Homo-oligomer: A and B are copies of this chain.
Amino acid sequence: MNLESEQTYFMQQALLEAKKAYLINEVPIGAVVVHEGEIVGRGHNLREWLEDATVHAEVVAIQEACRTLNSWRLVDCDLYVTIEPCLMCSGAIINSRIGRVYYGAPDPKAGAVTSLYQTLTDQRLNHQVEVVSGLFAEESATLMKNFFKAARKKRKIEKISWYFCS
């Protein structure tokens, strides 16, 4: 595979993870960690499912990658994620020494890579990460929009049924 088709493939895998989250009613964000052309960690948001605030897609993928490589240092690893990482996930990316992050759509409300903070390129920290944004941005954002639209509709129906049935 050439570089471009490799990036396309891995971002599609991150999107596949996001869709898994969608199917179990989680905010649809997915991620994969890649080492020497192989996926060594994958994850999707499991916050509601596991009732755990820390299990965002990136953290789950990083934890699996650490287990696969038997090392907390994910040297020569790239992370692909559908939505711009939050503060916690950006911190996990820095702490695990990931070299490059590809993300799909920005998160203007909580993004800590470009939107609210630029943590991954902060020269004061002991590790900096290369950032590539915009890969499958539309697909990533559309998945989120559809999820929140469906959630609002569900809440509306629940309110109406509560009104008529209680």
Provide the bound-state CA to CA distance between A51 and B95, in Å.
12
Known: A87-B90, A110-B126. A51 touches B63 (CB 8 A): no
With an 8 A cutoff between CB atoms, is A24 at the interface? no
Residues of B within 8 A of A91 (CB): 86-91, 112
Q: How far is A112 from B95 in the complex, measured between Cα atoms in Å? A: 13
- How many copies of this chain does one complex carry? 2
Minimum CB distance partner of A109 in chain B: B126
User: Does A153 sit within 8 A of B, measured CB to CB?
Assistant: no
* Contact among B53, B62, B117, B125 for A73, CB-based, below 8 A: B53
A35 CB to closest chain B CB, in angstroms?
A: 14
Residue A12 lies at the interface, judged by CB distance under 8 Å to chain B: no
